[in-house]
A and B are shown apart, each in its own frame.
Chain A
């Protein structure tokens, strides 16, 4: 990319407008006539016709490009595809003794990629409207495709297919919202337009523990207490590492152990020798009380 082009690339939209207004101001009514294409597509060549004779200077100013070229009036001006990669309004100006200008619009090309955002990255199972996604179609040159397009959203959990839905883009955006599945594991979500697709994976995790229960027995070292396999209300095992807090109280003292779940079960050793009452909790879930007699 030349220095000039790379510099002008950075001209903001307001700057382009200013140039456009300036060009219109310099163009008298009897100026050069230009015939611009009625419909142009990003990344495709375009031809701009001029009339008259003699030499002139041709300018083309667009959203991400600017061109200055010496031309012969009466001949067609060929604009290369790489000069029309950005969709939007373009201004063509020809100046000899006087200036003339015309504008034309470059449409985005066909969708070539999908920008697909899914939220959240972890979702508890069995939650209504817990997963949302939004897709933006872009053409090969990174232009947002604004024409309505049908985007197909598909979501599949580890054990079930959640949904498949076709949503039309509106102003270049399509979105969905859905409930999370019943089983834990990766939730594969794909957005696609024809052959173009964009997959995403989010983690479906267990919800709060449900029906937490403990059992225990006195051993030589103390009371070995453990939970039954910890599941959420959908029957999925709660994530390993989740803390279960064991509380043992008796004889004016209390003992606590924060034990992580390993292999669906949390275990703790309580060393109290007297009679104790043991319970456990994890988040909002509480267990039964376990009474163990003294040694």
Chain B
């Protein structure tokens, strides 16, 4: 009995552990913290293209660059320079959005395979401070012996030559008065801002209220646009605000698109939309100036309409995270959609970076003009 029971318990434990290894669903784990590699003998081998790429991306998830290099090199031992370059490729640099990002999950689609070569398309789901970012990337793999390795095109970091860029910061600071001084108490008027267009539409996600807002004053304004949906009996259905679908700080005469999402609601049930714009005086800086070059609506590889362009940092200050917001108007000049997107790369002074913003297919056909503004986050200003 002793041996029988002992062996039975050990066997049951082993079977359960084996079942656990085959369990597809991940039980836990937090993003961005190394949970350690698999124990020896339990690690996946790069014996197929999918396994090799899974090992690479798994290592990227754990930021285990040493292991990532094991499926990228077959001959020499990895050097620390390789490791550093690899890390920079995947981790980003200069305080860009990618430096804040973690690879949360990925899906693989084999595109093409022979006995010695394969191409796999991967959808990389990044978690970032500004929300999830999806990235489609094609990987080429080659077989050497029993092992498959990944060939990654090396991304060269932007090479910005040393230069002197005149920096003439314009900056507004708030000076608060008190009751004794001649400016009086709290008698500074809020900036004059105005909603210059508004449109409400039904989208796949729900009701979307959008348009453009302008600072008509001579001082910078912090702007937030709120919308309240009312039903036929004038009761409030929902109230939301423009959140990050707006450039909140507007310099004088600046115009920003805004979009307010009401997920899961149907416009047919909405009788009235009450708009409320709130503006406040805030400190602000006129730098950096970012130009939006070569804007054009095209189709991406999957045939989706996309607004492409390039951001050009015209100032002497690094822009760590650019945020592009675009409003699209029809032939009557009415705003029919507002999209936004964050750019992975930092914008070094006088350098440029491409951007792409998706447009829903049904909207793209009616677009006659568009207006792009660039919002930004700079570590220097934060």
Contacts and interface: CB of A to CB of B under 8 A. Distances in A.
Do any CB atoms of chain A lie under 8 A from CB atoms of chain B in the complex? yes
Interface of A: 116-122, 124, 199-201, 205-206, 239-245, 252-260, 262-263, 268-272, 282-283
14 contacts: A117-B184, A120-B189, A240-B170, A243-B251, A243-B255, A254-B295, A255-B293, A256-B295, A256-B372, A257-B289, A259-B314, A260-B289, A268-B314, A270-B293
Contacts of A260: 170, 251, 286, 289
Given A205-B218, A240-B170, 15 more contacts: A121-B189, A122-B217, A199-B182, A201-B183, A240-B286, A241-B284, A242-B253, A257-B289, A258-B374, A262-B286, A269-B312, A270-B293, A271-B291, A282-B253, A283-B214
Contacts of B254: 243, 258
Interface string B264-300: 0000000000000000000010100111111110000
Contacts of A262: 168, 170, 286
Interface in B200-229: 214, 216-220
B218 A270 contact: no
B189 A122 contact: yes
Given A241-B172, A243-B254, A253-B295, A258 B289 contact: yes
A242 B183 CA distance: 24
Contacts of B216: 283
A200 B295 contact: no
Contact of B252 (A243, A256, A257, A271): A243
Given A122-B189, A239-B218, A200 B184 contact: yes
Contacts of B371: 256
A58 to B, nearest CB: 39
B365 to A, nearest CB: 17
A243 B254 CA distance: 6
Contacts of A118: 184, 187
Interface residues of B, number: 39
A268 B286 contact: no
A255 B284 CA distance: 25
A227 to B, nearest CB: 13
B291 A257 contact: yes
Contacts of A121: 183, 187-189
Contacts of A206: 218
Q: Which 9 pairs of residues, A with B, have the shortest CB-CB distance?
A: A257-B291, A260-B286, A242-B252, A205-B218, A243-B254, A255-B293, A239-B218, A243-B253, A199-B182
A238 to B, nearest CB: 8
Contacts of B290: 257-258
B172 A256 contact: no
A258 B290 CA distance: 7
Nearest to A249: B295
Nearest to A252: B296
A262 B251 CA distance: 13
A239 B289 contact: no
B373 interface: yes
A57 B310 CA distance: 89
Contact of A272 (B219, B289, B293): B293
Nearest to A124: B218
Contacts of B172: 241
A263 B289 CA distance: 15
Nearest to B171: A241
A268 B289 contact: yes
A268 B293 CA distance: 11
A263 B169 CA distance: 11
B291 A242 contact: no
In the complex, which of the residues A241, A254, A260, A268 has the most CB atoms of chain B within 10 Å of its own CB atom? A241
A117 B187 contact: yes
Contacts of B296: 252-254
Contacts of B312: 269, 271
Contacts of B220: 241
A243 B219 CA distance: 11
Given A241-B252, A272-B294, A201 B182 contact: yes
B219 A122 contact: yes
A126 B371 CA distance: 33
Nearest to B184: A200
A120 B252 CA distance: 17
A105 B373 CA distance: 66
A245 B214 CA distance: 13
Contacts of B255: 243, 245
Contacts of A205: 218
A235 to B, nearest CB: 16
Contacts of B214: 283
Contacts of A122: 189, 217-219
A69 to B, nearest CB: 37
Nearest to B293: A255
Nearest to B370: A254
A2 to B, nearest CB: 29
Given A206-B218, A269-B291, A283-B216, A258 B373 contact: yes
A268 B374 CA distance: 15
A121 B216 CA distance: 15
B160 to A, nearest CB: 13
A282 B255 CA distance: 10
A48 B254 CA distance: 69
Contacts of B286: 240-241, 260, 262
Contacts of B187: 117-119, 121
Contact of B291 (A119, A124, A244, A256): A256
Interface string B147-172: 00000000000000000000010101
Contacts of B292: 255-257
Given A241-B251, A241-B286, A269-B314, A255 B294 contact: yes
Contacts of B183: 121, 200-201
